[in-house]
Structure formats: C-alpha cells, structure tokens
Structure 1
Amino acid sequence: MYEQISHSLLNDILVELKKKNKPQKNMQFFYTRLGANFYAIYSLFNTLYGDHPDFKKHMLQLVETLMRQYSSRSGHLKKIDLEREKDHNWFLNQKWVGMALYCDGYADNLKDMLPRLSYLQELGVNLVHIMPICDCPEGKSDGGYAVRNFCKIDSRFGTFEDFDKLVTNLKKRDMLLTLDVVVNHTSDQHEWAVKAREGDKAYQDYYFIFDDRSIPDIYEESMPEVFPETAPGNFTWDESMGKWVMTVFNNYQWDLNYRNPSVFIEMLNIILFWANRGADILRLDAVAFLWKKMGSSCQNEREAHLILQLMKDCCQVTAPGVIFIAEAIVAPTEIIKYFGEDAINAKECEIAYNATFMALLWDAVATKKTILLNKGIHDIPQKLERATWLNYVRCHDDIGWGFSDADIVTAGYEPLSHRRFLVDYFTGNYEGSLAAGLAFGRNSETGDARISGSLASLAGLERALKNNDPDAISMAIKTILLLHGMILSFGGIPMLYYGDAIGTLNDDSYLNDESKNNDSRWVHRPKMDWEKAMQRTQPGTVEYSIFNAVKKMISIRKEIPAFADRNNRELLSVDNPHLFVFSRFDQINSSSRVLIIGNFDAEPQFLNLSPLQRMGFFQYDSIKNLCNGESMPAINENLMIPARSFYWLQA
C-alpha cells in the first residue's frame, strides 16, 4: 500500500542508511518486503511511539536493524523463506508433530542431543521445542526464563558451535526447531539492569522503576499476583538502587517497559538474532503482559497486540519463513486475539497454546464426564484460517483451571467447589483418585491452586505401579493414550512433552536443590531415563505399551489429510455425557471424513449411531478403526467404546 507520509519517511531513511552503510548486494527481496510492509510498520510504530521526541531517529534505527539482520541471514535460510512464502500455509500440514524438552533434561547438553535425535525420529516427532538455553544466573533462572544475556548460550548447555551443529543436523532430518524468546522481562543481572542499578537513566527507562510506593500502590490495586506463594506482589525493592522495580513473575525478573521504543528495537533485534541462528518457530514468552497500564490487570491490553503485530510485520521483512507462538495462558475469548485481527493486515502469532483444551481434557479425566469439555470447546471462538493451535497434554508448566465460571455453572457445577475438587482429585486427596500431583501457586485466601505433576503420575500410573495393581496400571495407560489420541486428532500441532511417551513418573529429586525446592513444577522436569526408554522395545512393559501406541497414532495422523488444520473440525452433540465426539474432514475430498470418539469414563460406554447416520455418517456397510486397522460393522444401532479409550473411525 502506498501512503505519502510513510513512504516519504522511508525514502529519507533509505537515503540516510545509504550514507551510513556500504551498498549491499542481493537486497531485492528485502526492499520488496520492506516496501510492502512499511505502511503497516510505520502506522503501528507511530501509534505506539508517535509522541516520542526521537520518533524519526527510532524509525531509522528500526529499519537499520531490519536491514542489518537481513544482510547477515544465510543464503540457506533465505531460500527457506522464499519456499515458505510460496507455501504460506506450510505449518498447517498434518505431518508436524512436536516435542518440548530441556536439552539438559532430555540429554546432557546441546552436544549430547545429536545422538538422541534418532529417538524423536523413531517416535515420529519432527518439530523440536528446546526450552530456554540463553545465559541465566544459576539459582535464579526460573527454568531459563530469567535471562542474563539474550545472545549468549548458557555454558551449562554448551556453545554456539554445539548449537550450530545441532541445527544443521535437524535441517538434514527435515525437523523444525522451536526456541524461546523471553520478551516480557530480563534477569536483574542483565546488562541493562546492571546499568540501571548503577544510575544510568537511559537504562532505568528500560524498566518500571520508582522512587517510592505511590505509583506501585496504584498498579497493585488492579494487578493480580502470578505467584502468590513464592513472589507476592508485583514490585520489589532494590536496595543498591534505592528504588522499586516492577517484578510481576519473580523478584529477580524485571519487567521491560515497552513504552520505550528502544526496548522494542532491542527485543526485535534479539528475535531476528535467533531467527538467523536457524530457528523455524519462535515462542514469545508471556506476551499477555507486554503492556502495563494503571487501573488495569496489565494483561491483554490492546497495545500488547499492537506490539506483536509490529514484531510480526518486521519479521516478515527480514525472516518471513519464521513463525511465532504466542505463550498466553488466558481465557479463550482473549487467547484468540493473539492470532491477530486478520491473517494479512493485522497478523500477530501463527500459533497459540490451546491451554483451555488441555485443562478441559484433565477436567474430563477427573469427572469422567465431558459436559464441561463439550461446553468449553463449543465456546472457543473461531480462529483465523492461517493460524493454528498448539495442542498439548502436559508441558513444563503447571495446569491451571482457566475455564470460565459461566461454563462451569452451565455444566452443573459450582465454580469454587469444582475447582477445589479438581485440586483434590489431582493431588490424590479425593476418594478413588490415584493421581499423584502436587498443588502449585495455592492462594491462601481463595483456596485456589494449580497442579504440578507428570502426565503418567497424574493419570494414576505412579500409584498403580506402587500398588502393583495390573488393572489400575492398564487404566492409567489407557488414560495416557486417550489424552494423546485427542491432541493428535483435534486440529493443530500436537506438542508432546519429553518422557511422556515412555510413562515418566514424578521426579522429587528437585527437593534436594535449594534453588528449586520451593517450586513444585520441577517435579515434572526430570532427567530423561534412557535405561527406562530402552524398555520401549520390550513387549509387556509399560514403556512398550505407551511408546508404540503413540508412535502408531503419529504415523496414522501424518497419512490422513483430514487431520490438517483448515478449520475443518465439527463438534458433535451426542446423548452420552461421558463421550467427546467430533469429526475432521478433508476440504478437498469431502468424503474423506474421520469421526473421533473419546470415552472418559472408567466403564464402557455406548454411542447411539442413529442420529449420526441421519447426519450423513456411516452410510456404508462397514467402518474402519484407523488405530488398529480393524473393520467394524456400522449396522448396529449402538457402538461400544471401551473404558478410557478412543476411536478414529473412517468409512
């Protein structure tokens, strides 16, 4: 789009950059993309920073950053950019299956990950999310999210030489790499924070720093606490500086001030730095918190979305083959906004965590009913066509019960008591529950809490093994496979968590580490047990049962076009409260339809086929269960689904 003011400014900027820099070769794609995106970039930057006295100076710095990073981008990555521009929906394909892991948990370090990639390929994983690897202070790292240096790899994980070899190996295997960029805050030991602490006013403006409590107290009136147990309040007194600093997450994590355009440019430079190191996908951490405003919760503000739109437009100029994940664990009506207002003019992140689906699945496990699951999924707004969900059962973080009170009431429960029931159930304090989770972030005033624990332990496998109860072990394995069956078929990119495919249990060794023992989330951040992993080749073992079933599901998923995410899911209402039923259909071949049925009860359940037949399903002599290849007669009025089991059915 041509607009006189913005393009006149662009001309001035390019003239100035030509004076400052030597002419660059092979820049035609850069200038094409810059011209196509510049009006949007200028408009957003002007909305956010137009009142800044150095606005034009910062616009020059912004374009210079884009140009410099494009110039340093490798020819191989530029080739990938062009391929993905032509196939812009490449990430919606059903072939992608991810795994999130800590490089020093899954392996010893980045170098040791190389021989461990074969395990991922054996399972069928071709998208690897390596959790934060940037330099962090030991003991005050928040699992890698308190960054001391964004452009340095922590020595505990290895070197850039190790990292580059890993990236090269991943590319050869056609595996995607996902990395984190912590955009909301830094460690209090970051160079910017150190300079701020020394009295540098320019760097104090990188953060929210106050001489007294008057302004912080106004913020506190409306800001919730993220970690009420371990980090109450949202401000920390810095003794050496003699000032108050905004610290929403932990007292050693200083929140960045995006009202300052220098902060935006610095963080954009860091995003492009990692894009140029070979990341295919960048997970932007804590994006809901990017804009702070007095009188609000300081979450999900409009300006936070404008910042993400600006980051996306800028990235499309320099590294258009790189896509973003929005790490925003918020209500469904809010999370949908992180895809952007539309897929072209106001795009933000191509991928968002489907935290609501995750929490609803665990609710169905606890209640053995899918009433709230069906209601919650029905109420998730429609996403953009050129965007997708990241579906997961477990991750490095806790499980929060973020579904709406209104949905809980509609499902027939009282919100406060229902959430307390879920906490009791998954901590094993409810009669009949074999779950072995731990409470996390308990609020002493409301009694509310989130849940820590590995998938296997939450599903009851840990206690079933301790009790040597074959029936309970079998039921736990079925629960694990049921949950994977849902995320692999729902629509989006399934993200497994390392260790889950072999039934890894809770690891309480974190209790012996003073820097971790007050954070129960470390119970599900274990060291991968490779001796246990070898049991996946031994029939009759728990590891064999889980690994090979998940492996088969992944293989089948990749072969079914209906599992590509094209907004091609239909939630089906059935008269059995224990069943979750939906269909996936291929938009090119409408007859290629898969019916997914999940039974969350501990007893077999029956599905009345007559209503589905009237809707066009099962108009054939037989149907096939894709997971075992067996044909099933479709003439019976009722279909039996075993306890804690699922079907992927195709005519």
Structure 2
Amino acid sequence: MYEQISHSLLNDILTQFKQPKGEDWQHFYTRLGANFYAIHSLFQHLYGQRADFKEQLGKLVNVLAQQYAQRAPHLRAKDLEREKNHDWFMQQKWVGMALYCQGFAGNLANMRDRLPYIQELGVNLVHIMPLCDCPELQNDGGYAVRDFRKVDARNGTMEDLEQLIAAMQQSDMLLTLDVVVNHTSDEHEWALKAKQGDQQYQDYYYMYPDRTLPDMFEAAMPEVFPEQAPGSFTLNPDTGKWVMTVFNHYQWDLNYSNPAVFIEMVDIVLFWANKGVDILRLDAVAFLWKKIGSSCQNEREAHLILQLLKDCCQVTAPGVIFIAEAIVAPTEIIKYFGEDAINAKECEIAYNATFMALLWDAVATKQTVLLTKGVEDLPEKLDRATWLNYVRCHDDIGLGFSDKAIIEAGFDPVSHRRFLVDYYTGRYPESNARGFAFGVNKKTGDARISGALASLAGLETALATQDQSAIENAMMTIILLHNLIMSFGGIPLIYYGDAVGTLNNDSYLQDENKMHDNRWVHRPTLDWEVMALRNEPGTVQQRLFSQIKQLIAIRKEISAFADLNNRELITLENPHLFAFHRFVQTGMHSKVVVVANFDTSPQSVPLQSFRQKGLFKGAVLTELYSGQQIIPESDFLTIPKLTAYWLST
C-alpha cells in the first residue's frame, strides 16, 4: 500500500543506506515497499511518542537490509518458491516430531546419525527444543537463554548444527527451532550490563527501585508457577532493584516498550532464519506486553509486536514461518493467527492445546460429549494458518477447556477438573494412569498434569502387573490418540519416544536442579537398545511403532487431510463416539469420515446420522487405515473399542 508519510520517511532512510555491491536487491526492495506502510504504522503505534522514533525505525530497516545481504542464495530461492506456493505448510505431507537434542541423541552430531530413525517413522518436520547457550544450572530446560547466537556446548557447536541443517535439507525435512522472545537468563550479556548499572541495558528489562510499581503490576498478574516461583518480581542484590521475573527468578522479562529490544529480537530471528531454519517457534508470546492493571497476558500490543515481527521477516526471509507458543483459551489462541484478517498476519501456526486437553478428557471419561462441545467452540482459523495437533509435549497438560463447555457437557467445572487430576495421578479407583500433579495452586486447588503418554494411557501399570487386557487397552489408546491428531486438521506433532511407548522416567529426582520440577518425568533420555525393539515382532515397541508409521504413511496419501478449513463436525447421539468429515474438491480420497470410539466396548451408530449429511451413500465402506471393506449390518455401523476409523465411500 502506498501512503505518502511512511514512504517519504522510507525514502529518507534509503538515501542513507549503503547497498552492498554485487547483490540482487530487487526482491528486497519490492518486499520492503509492499510491507513498509504496515511496518511504519505498527512501529509508530508502539513507539511513535518517542523523540528518537525516526532514528529507531532507520535502525530497524538497516537490520533488515544487513540480514538480507547475508541470506544465502539457496535460501533466497526457497523464499521465492514458497511465495508462489504460499500454503505449502498446510499440505498433508508434513508430520512433525518434537524432541530434546540431548535426550534424543546426546548431541547435534549424533542427531545426524539418528535422522534415519525419524525418516523410517515417516516424520519430515523436526522441532528441536532450545539449543542456545544457557547456564549450567538455572536454565529452565533451555528456556533461560544466555546467548541467542550461540549453541549450548552440551548440544554441540554451531558447525554441528549447520551440518545437521544441510543433511535435513537434502532429505526435504523441515527444521523448527525456538526463539525465546519474552525473557533472557539473568546471565545474558544484557542482564550482566544491567547489573553493572548500565542504564541502557536496565531499560531492556522492567527494573524498579522499590516495590511501588511491582505491587501495582502484581495486583492483577496471575502467578505462572505458584509453587516453585511465586510472585512476578525478584529483588536483584547487585542493583537493589526489583526485576520482573514472570516465570522464574533467573528469567528476566524483556521490556518491549523499548524499541531497542524489539530491534534486537528482529535481528536474532533473522539470524536463525539465515541459518536455514524453516519454522521459528516463538516462546511465551502471550506475555510480550506488560501493563499495570491487566493480567499482562494477551494484551493487544503483544499482537502488534508479532504483526510487526512478521512484516519484518517477510521483507528479509519470507519463506520462514512462525509458531505461536501461547497455551491460552481458544478465544485467545485464535488471535495469534491475527484478527481482522483473511491470511495469518502474526503466526501461521499455533498449538491446539484445547484439542489435546479434550482428548485426554475423553480418555478419562470414555465419553466424547465434552470433546464434541469443546471442538464446536474452537473458532474457525484463518485461511493461511494451521494448528499443531499433539498428544504430549515437553510441557504439562493444562485443563484449559472452557467452563461453558464443561457445563454443557453435564459436569461441574471444579469437580470435573479435580476428577481429571485424580484420574491421571492414579488416585481414582478405576484408573491405571501414572501421572503427577504439576503447578498445584493451594489457594484454588487448580493443577496441571505431568507424565509420559504411555504412562498416562495406563501402559506403565499394565506392564508392571502383566495384565494383558490392560496392555492391549493402553496400546489401543495410544494409537487412537495418534490417529486423531493425524486426521483432525493441521500438522500432527509426535513427541519423541511416544512412538515406542516410552514410560515415565524418575531419574530426574537424582538431579537437584530438576528434582523440584516433575515435568522432567516425561523428558526422557532415550535408550536406543530399547528403541531397537521396534524391529522385534511382537514387542510393545514394534507394535506401536509399526501402527504409527502406517498412520503417517496413509495420512500423506489422503488429500482431504490437507488443512484448508475443510472439516465438519458430526454430532452423534452415542456419547462414546466422536466424528468429523474431512473433504476437498479433488484428489485421492477427497471425502473421509473419521469416527472414534473412546469406550472399552464396541459402539454402534445408525448410518442415518451420516446419510442425512450426504455421506455413506454406497453399500460398502472402505476403512483406509486397515484397507478393510466394511458392509454395515442393519443400517448400523459398529466401531471396535478404542478405535478410530477413517472411512471412505
């Protein structure tokens, strides 16, 4: 969009810009011109009241140009390719895995040797969780960053990472890395200079000489970790000042009301884009803007910062996309795609935490009423945006579905959430689950849940007692959950170790730096001798791995599983069944109905429930996962226990 004021300013900036010789700058100038009105408008809204506004905006443009100059030719070519195929990441071909480098392979060099395992499973998108340099002890699993441009020595070197990226690119695999945008370690260079009294760097954080403003902030700020890190401010003894530390006392929140902070983070984001990273996961984006009198979460300015960051990235590295790490209510998470837009203007991908939590509710209750209500309440996403659908991740399970949905499902919100915590911690009499309560709020009784997928699904208990029926049910539950994240709509994200049924690991209790955080129970160091059992017929590992591998392979062949806002929920009267319809205009299996049974007994549903929607007109149905031909009896379709069918006619 052309607008005189912003483009006059851009001309002033560019007259002072020294373009490197021998470079092709056509695409840079085209993108800068196309995006600059938005960049100027957002930057002015956030920082226009400052006397150095024009100077800071000039610095921002200079960063974009410097990083473009350093962008490799093959990455520029990929940018052009993805601009032409703008929904490339929404295709059904992508299946992801999230992992810790050290837990999965020991280090980045060994990661290259483990790529064949990932490829064998069918995964072609790998999210390696935080790799950046962080302190030896107080590091929050890598999310307390000491140096954003350095690989932590425990993971290897930057050269190791570059070699891994090259190997992945040769195999058409996507790489996702984290950028922790909300805070730094208190050992970061900026924090160290702030501790030494440098006002420039104290302004990078929220630092106050007394409790007056911290008390005003905390009056409305909820505690993130009430057990282990109560409050949101920490007294720094070096300066005698109170520093905002929303997550942990050693993680200092960055102050985005300072444009210098934003420009620094743009430079860091583009640094990693230029390393060849395809997708950047922006951590803790809901917390980016702090405002007295608010919860300091999901503020409008946080969204403006993300929009500005996206516009800047589109100038220099438009082939790179963002994941919003915001585990918030459905009405809030949808905003991280961008409001009042058709295509995503903030982050193209967001975690579908609500769907994940609803799946675990259905496993515990063996009913799908709340699952159906919760999915009905999910707002429709934008066209050029998609979900990450997952069963487990490195974090806890929050029971974040709405009270409204719980009530409509016939439950009391408080007692139902307590039931779920009791069920997954094994306190409920009929539960085989072996998880742990995390983040218990003694004031409210609220809690979240830690635990490995297989242990939460009952496999740990079943193997200990050698109860064959319970082992079978646990394995079927694991496959059922993976079936649904493969078919629901979005990018399925498998957690490392889950494809072979990795159980809880309590070795973290021997580490004084981890023993107070039970999330480490599901952050394993993989035993590759156990992993090798996936090749031995009849083992738990082989049975799980082969079935998940088959799910992935078949998913990639089903055109209806591309995420194009092409899902229709089918409400059934049977409370144990969950169903939806996936469809596209053309392609193999352009219409697929998914029907899932969460009960431990077979369940039937009348075909009329589907035929009234124009489905199942033929006499024979094909179950795509097994290849089985199904001829329904007496106009009823029967779904086996703990099973999801992918049905095509």
**Interval of TM-score (by shorter of Structure 1 and Structure 2):** over 0.9
Residue 469 of structure 2 aligns with an amino acid whose one-letter code is D
Return the letter of the residue paired with 1:4: Q
Q: Please state how far the C-alpha of 1:353 moved relative to its aligned partner.
A: 0.2
1:612 aligned partner: 610
SS at structure 2 position matched to 1:69: helix
Q: 1:59 to 1:345 in 2, by over 3 A?
A: farther
Aligned residue for 1:455?
A: 453
Structure 2 Cα separation of the partners of residues 259 and 552 of structure 1: 49
SS of the equivalent of 1:330 reads: coil
- For residue 570 of structure 1, report the CA deviation from its aligned partner: 0.4
1:64 aligned partner: 62
Once the two structures are TM-superposed, the CA of residue 445 in structure 1 deviates from its matched residue by 1.3
Pairing partner for 1:205 from 189, 203, 206: 203
Q: Which runs of 5+ in 1 are unaligned?
A: none
Structure 2 Cα separation of the partners of residues 308 and 25 of structure 1: 29
- More displaced stretch, 76-85 vs 581-590: 581-590
How far, CA to CA, are the matches of 1:636 and 1:247 in structure 2? 63
Is the contact between residue 459 and residue 475 of structure 2 (CA under 8 Å) also seen in structure 1?
yes
Query: For 1:591 and 1:152, how far apart are their aligned partners in 2?
Result: 46
Residue among 543, 546, 549 paired with 1:545: 543
Contact (CA 8 Å) 1:510, 1:516: kept in 2 or not? yes
> Which residue in the other structure is 2:560 paired with?
562
Tell me which moved more, 340-349 or 377-386. Answer: 340-349
Q: Please tell me whether the aligned partners of residues 343 and 385 of structure 1 are also in contact (alpha carbons under 8 angstroms).
A: no
2:570 — aligned with what?
572
CA distance in 2, matches of 1:36, 1:590: 38
Which position in structure 1 is the counterpart of 2:231?
233
**Superposition deviation, residue 592 in structure 1:** 2.3
State the distance in 2 between where 1:520 and 1:9 align.
53
Structure 2: how far apart are the matches of 1:39 and 1:241? 41
Higher mean C-alpha deviation, range 589-598 or range 397-406: 589-598
Superimposed CA distance per residue, residues 549-584 of structure 1 (whole angstroms, 9 cap, x where no aligned partner) = 000000000000000000000000111011110010
Match of 1:495, SS state, is strand
Kept in 1: contact 2:560–2:589 (CA 8 A):
no
Task: Give the RMSD, CA atoms, in angstroms.
Answer: 1.1
Map Cα deviations across residues 265-291 of structure 1 (whole Å, 9 max, x no partner).
000100000000110000000000000
Q: In the alignment, what sits opposite 1:595?
A: 593
Cα pair 2:343 2:383 within 8 Å, conserved = no
* Per-residue deviation, 1:340: 0.6
| Separation in structure 1 between the aligned mates of residue 59 and residue 277 of structure 2, nearest angstrom | 24
SS of 1:46's equivalent?
helix
Contact 1:97 1:554 survives alignment (8 Å): yes
Deviation at 1:589, TM superposition (A): 5.6
Q: Which residue of 1 aligns with 2:494?
A: 496
Matches within 5 A, 1:290-301: 290-301=288-299
Partner of 1:10: 10
Q: Which residue of 1 aligns with 2:377?
A: 379
Whole-angstrom CA distance in 2 between matches of 1:471 and 1:611:
32
Query: Is 1:389 aligned to residue 384 of structure 2?
Result: no
Secondary structure of 1:559 counterpart: coil
What CA distance in whole angstroms lies between the structure 1 residues aligned with 2:114 and 2:55? 48
* CA–CA separation in structure 2 for the residues paired with 1:638 and 1:43: 59
Tell me if 1:46 matches 2:34: no
Shift of 1:533: 1.1
CA change 1:215–1:24 in 2 (3 A) is farther
Distance 1:636 1:618, change over 3 A: farther
| TM alignment of 1:102-251, pairs within 5 A | 102-251=100-249
Measure the CA separation in 1 of the matches of 2:58 and 2:508: 48
Q: Deviations over 1:322-345 (max 9, x none)?
A: 000000000000000000125568
TM-score by length of 2: 0.99
CA-to-aligned-CA distance 1:11-66 (integer Å, 9 cap, x gap): 00001113xx6446211110010001000000000000001110011011000000
Give 1:150's aligned amino acid. Answer: F
1:621 matched to which residue of 2?
619
The match for 2:71 is 73
Contact 1:620/1:634 (8 A) holds in 2: no
Query: Paired residue for 1:479?
Result: 477
- Mapped pair 1:27 → 2:25: yes
- Contact 2:348/2:384 (<8 A) preserved: yes
What is the CA-CA distance between 1:346 and the residue it aligns to?
Answer: 6.8
Distance 2:638 2:631 in 1: 12
Task: Give CA deviations for 1:200-225 in whole Å, capped at 9, x if unaligned.
Answer: 11100100000010110011110000
Which residue of the other structure, out of 349, 353, 356, is the alignment partner of 1:355? 353
1:61 maps to amino acid: K
Distance in 1 of aligned mates of 2:599 and 2:391? 18
Deviation (angstroms), 1:623: 0.7
Q: Distance in 1 between matches of 2:595 and 2:21?
A: 61
Question: What residue identity is the alignment partner of 1:5?
Answer: I
Structure 1 residue 604, shift from structure 2 partner: 1.3
* Mapped partners of 2:583, 2:552: distance in 1: 18
Report how far residue 448 of structure 1 moved. 1.1
Runs of 5+ in structure 2 lacking a partner?
A: none
Structure 1 CA distance for aligned equivalents of residues 104 and 46 of structure 2: 41
Q: For 1:478 and 1:343, how far apart are their aligned partners in 2?
A: 41
1:614 CA displacement: 2.3
Partner-residue secondary structure (3-state), 1:398: coil
Query: Given residue 444 of structure 2, which amino acid in structure 1 is its aligned partner?
Result: T
Check whether the contact 1:98–1:495 (CA below 8 A) recurs between aligned residues: yes
CA contact (8 A) 2:559 2:589 kept: no
| Structure 1 residue 641 displacement after superposition | 1.1
User: SS of 2:578's equivalent?
Assistant: strand
The one-letter amino acid of 1:646's match is A
The residue aligned with 2:83 is 85
Cα offset for 1:591? 7.7
2:93 maps to 1:95: yes
Q: What secondary structure sits across from 1:35 in the alignment?
A: helix
Cα deviation digits, residues 177-230 of structure 1 (max 9, x gap): 000000000000000000001001110010000001011001111000000000
Deviation at 1:588? 3.2
- Cα distance in 1 for partners of 2:446, 2:59 equals 46
State which of 313, 316, 324 in structure 2 corresponds to 1:315: 313
Match of 1:425 among 395, 408, 423: 423
Further displaced range: 633-642 or 164-173: 633-642
SS of residue in 2 equivalent to 1:349: coil
Distance in 2 separating the partners of 1:312 and 1:180: 16
> How far does residue 371 in structure 1 lie from its aligned partner after superposition?
0.7
Verify the 8 A CA contact 2:131 2:142 in the aligned structure 1. Answer: yes
1:238 touches 1:244 (CA, 8 Å); kept in 2? yes
TM-score by structure 1 length?
0.99
In structure 1, distance between residues paired with 2:131 and 2:432:
35
Would the alpha carbon gap of residues 277 and 590 (structure 1) be closer, same or farther in structure 2, given more than 3 Å must change? closer
* Aligned residues of 1:621 and 1:635 also touching (Cα < 8 A): no
Write the distance in 1 (CA, Å) between the matches of 2:325 and 2:232. 20
What's the offset of the Cα at 1:539?
Answer: 1.4
Give the one of 527, 537, 540 matched to 2:525.
527
**Does the 8 Å contact 1:309/1:346 carry over to 2?**
no
1:612 Cα offset (Å): 1.1
Supply the distance in 2 between the matched residues of 1:603 and 1:630 (Cα, whole angstroms): 20
CA distance in 1, matches of 2:73, 2:339: 32
Q: Distance in 2 between matches of 1:615 and 1:298?
A: 45
Output the CA distance in 1 between the equivalents of 2:117 and 2:420. 34
Partner of 2:434: 436
Q: Which SS does the other structure have where 1:488 is aligned?
A: helix
* Secondary structure of the structure 2 residue equivalent to 1:177: strand
